[in-house]
A and B are shown apart, each in its own frame.
Chain A
């Protein structure tokens, strides 16, 4: 399965340490390969790497794009977009 999704980043500080950790930890719970980008054209980076996600330095109000490949890709995209929509509030501790 090959699924795309996008969501607006509402977190006040942008994609910083705590949200980046929440995002990569959630991505790692899926078998699918999950890519993230700050633009529909990419560059696409590995959503399971906190080093790379922090390296994006995404400011608040950016739109985040997700692309997942694998049998649980749909569930992955749903969970990732929900996490961002809910402002990382439901992030696993």
Chain B
């Protein structure tokens, strides 16, 4: 038997070795109308299907799974499924035909839409169709028992079927169709079950040994002994590295020369810190308030509560909160300017805050009130001129005077700016107003390279390896060090292990990254500089 490699798309990371198991043996979506009599009325069959779904839902622990079940339950409970019937008596007279017709109408509607999202939802519809049909015809639901090392191969798997199976640590899924953005892929990722999708119409032999690589989207059939040996070592070291990195992330990140690099986290949602221990980072380096408040700015008191929660969590470590960075690719109903020809070069960030002083002052007052709970730092986006910073300082002073007058407790936070406009990047030394700075690499790069980040035709030009960009970063860091201005980087670049040497080389010793990459970034810092 020759070994063979099959390429698909990676849908859930992880490595598995096992034997091919044919899902189609146990699972088939009948797309025809069965020629068998119903054993119960259709409404009763639908009722039972809803009960089954409620049961699956109550056993599932994650929110994605619940949402899928809830969608199916609502769908099945909807009487408008049968509105197409001229005569409602048909439901009682021809339940099997009516049910198939009702669902097939919906399935056709979804498949005709041409929209990827609705094409993915089709498996939910097919699943509902067959679930009710089985009950209606009195067929027993076969319990699925998968071998511990099953590499399940299927056309596609319905989310509810996925959820009804107790997946083990050595199993994996290979789909001929499917997509990395489907519900079932989300579920597989949540369970760390390796999954490769869209491998195409490959013939597979039951029981054939196979390696599934969910990182690369690769399936290797009948690997030889040497390859298998290599795989086992690979899997062991991947496991060990992960366990190790998570354990080590509680310790500070020191380079090989024993210089500490401060690793902070970026937060866009207050819930992100719920399950995190503050020990694993050196503070919060960026709070994106425009994302945290999901399109409606809450009252001053509510904002105070949110900011205070962040400071309490950080227990004395710095928390950098960015004021609303709206505009550009982040519109905000009721605030952002519409119809600007070039929004990235238009009224965004601080520029927009100045157009909505009342809204801006509510946020500043809330930040100043919450600052009494820890080390709060307030950062302003899209600063270009010193005059804008002096205007912000005046506004903060005005808020301070008002709060004093109202006898409300507050503390002056440190005030700083995002370094994203090249003109400001080159004028740090002459700034009287900056108390800290953080480089926003995405925007700095698009403005510096003249390549819009939302335009796929030119986005490849925005390459951080351009020598001019490294020079600019070096200049920013050198200038900041000269005037003892704390400088950090909170852009996407910091989260990329391959870009870390660049940031460390130019002298940056403070970065802020998404929480999920902290363990690996800290490990990469510990390996620097290379021998």
Q: Which residue of A lies closest to B67 (CB)?
A: A18
Residue of B nearest to A13 (CB): B117
Contacts of A87 in B (CB 8 A): 294-295
By the criterion of a CB under 8 Å from any partner CB, how many residues of chain B are at the interface? 24
Which residues of chain B are within 8 angstroms of A85 by Cβ–Cβ distance?
Answer: 295-296, 333
A16-B295 in contact (CB<8A): no
Q: Choose among B70, B71, B78, B331 the residue that contacts A49 (Cβ–Cβ < 8 A).
A: B78
Pair A16/B117 contact, Cβ less than 8 Å: yes
A57 engages B118 (CB within 8 Å): yes
Do A51 and B81 touch across chains, with their CB atoms under 8 A apart?
yes
Chain A, 44-63, contact with B by CB distance < 8 Å: what is the 0/1 string?
Answer: 00100111101101000000
Question: Which residues 227-269 in B have Cβ within 8 Å of A in the complex?
Answer: none
Distance in angstroms between the alpha carbons of A60 and B205 in the assembled complex: 44
Cα–Cα distance between A25 and B9 once the two chains are bound (Å): 36
Contacting residue for A52 out of B80, B118, B294, B295, CB 8 A: B80
Q: Do A46 and B80 touch (CB < 8 A)? A: yes
CA distance A3 to B79 in the complex (A): 25
> Which chain B residues in 46-79 approach chain A with CB under 8 Å?
66-68, 70-71, 74-75, 78-79
* Pairwise interchain contact A50-B333, C-beta atoms closer than 8 A: no
| Contacting residues, chain A, for B118 (C-beta < 8 A) | 57
Q: How far is the CA of A51 from the CA of B72 in the complex (A)?
A: 10
User: Measured between alpha carbons, how far is A51 from B77 in the docked complex, in Å?
Assistant: 10
B121 near A86 with CB under 8 A, answer no
Contact at A86–B295, with CB atoms within 8 Å?
yes
Q: Which residues of A contact B387 (CB under 8 A)?
A: none
Check B333 against A21 for contact (C-beta < 8 Å): no
The reply on B109 being an interface residue by CB < 8 A is: yes
Which residues of the partner chain A approach B75 to less than 8 Å between Cβ atoms? Answer: 50-51, 54
Query: What separation, in Å, do the CA atoms of A55 and B66 have in the docked complex?
Result: 21
Does B208 have its Cβ within 8 Å of any Cβ on chain A? no
Interface residues of B in 82-141 (CB under 8 A from A): 106, 109, 113, 115, 117-118, 121, 124
Docked-complex contact B117 and A24, CB < 8 angstroms: no
Given the complex, which residues of B lie within 8 Å of A8, measured CB to CB? Answer: 333
A20-60 to B contact mask, C-beta < 8 Å, 1/0: 11001100000000000000000000100111101101000
A62 to chain B, nearest CB (A): 13
**Alpha-carbon distance A76/B354, docked complex (angstroms):** 35
One of B74, B106, B115, B124 near A25 (C-beta < 8 A): B74
The count of chain A contact residues (Cβ–Cβ below 8 Å) is 24
Q: Does A14 contact B (CB under 8 A)?
A: yes
| A79 contacts across to B, CB distance below 8 A | none
A50 in contact with B295 (CB, 8 Å):
no
- Chain B residues closer than 8 Å to A93, beta-carbon distance: 66
Return B46 CB to nearest CB of chain A, in Å: 13
Q: How far is the CB of B122 from chain A (nearest CB, A)?
A: 12
Contact B294 A51 (CB under 8 A): no
Contact indicator B78/A17 (Cβ below 8 Å):
no
Residues 371-386 of B, flagged 1 when their CB comes within 8 A of A and 0 if not, give 0000000000000000
> How far is B66's CA from A21's CA once the two chains are assembled, in angstroms?
12
**When chains A and B are docked, how far (Å) is the Cα of A8 from the Cα of B118?**
21
A-chain residues with CB within 8 Å of residue B71 when the two chains form the complex: 17-18, 20-21, 50
For A55, list chain B residues within 8 Å (CB): 106, 109
Are B74's CB and A86's CB within 8 A? no
Q: Which residue of B lies closest to A10 (CB)?
A: B295
- B517 CB to closest chain A CB (Å) equals 22
Does A50 lie within 8 Å of B296, measured CB to CB? no
Q: Which residues of A contact B115 (CB under 8 A)?
A: 57
Instruction: Give, as a whole number of angstroms, the nearest-CB distance from A17 to chain B.
Output: 4
Q: Nearest A residue to B269 by beta-carbon distance?
A: A89
Q: How far is the CA of A29 from the CA of B66 in the complex (A)?
A: 21
Q: How far is the CB of B119 from chain A (nearest CB, A)?
A: 12
Distance A49 CA – B81 CA, assembled complex (angstroms): 9
Closest to A85 in B: B296
Complex CA distance for A89 and B124, rounded to whole angstroms:
23
| B80 and A86 form a contact (CB under 8 A) | no
In the bound assembly, the distance between CA atoms of A21 and B74 in angstroms comes to: 7
- Considering the complex, give the chain A residue whose CB is closest to the CB of B75: A50
Residue pair A50, B294 in contact (C-beta under 8 Å): no
- Residues of B close to A89: CB separation below 8 A: 294
Complex: chain A residue closest to B113, CB-CB:
A57
- Residue from A10, A49, A54, A57 in contact with B333 in the complex, judged by beta carbons closer than 8 Å: A10
Chain B residues near A57 (CB-CB < 8 A): 113, 115, 118
Cα of A54 to Cα of B74 in the assembled complex, Å: 11
Name the distance in Å between A10's Cβ and chain B's nearest Cβ. 5
Q: In chain A, what residue has the closest Cβ to B80?
A: A49
A55 to B124: give the CA distance in the assembly, Å.
Answer: 14
- Chain A residues with Cβ below 8 Å from B109 are 55
Nearest-neighbour CB distance to chain A for B187, whole angstroms, equals 14
Q: Which residues of A contact B113 (CB under 8 A)?
A: 57
Contacts A8-B333, A49-B78, A51-B81; A21 near B294 (Cβ below 8 A):
no
- Give chain B's interface residues, CB within 8 Å of chain A: 66-68, 70-71, 74-75, 78-81, 106, 109, 113, 115, 117-118, 121, 124, 294-296, 331, 333
Question: Which chain A residues have a beta carbon within 8 Å of chain B's beta carbons?
Answer: 8, 10, 13-14, 16-18, 20-21, 24-25, 46, 49-52, 54-55, 57, 85-87, 89, 93
* The 6 residue pairs across chains A and B that have the minimum distance between CB atoms: A17-B71, A50-B74, A49-B80, A51-B78, A87-B294, A18-B67
Q: List 6 A-B contacts (CB under 8 A).
A: A14-B117, A50-B71, A50-B74, A52-B78, A54-B75, A86-B294
Q: Taking A49-B79, A51-B78 as given, write out 4 further A-B residue pairs in contact, using a Cβ cutoff of 8 Å, ordered by the A residue number.
A: A16-B121, A21-B71, A52-B80, A57-B115
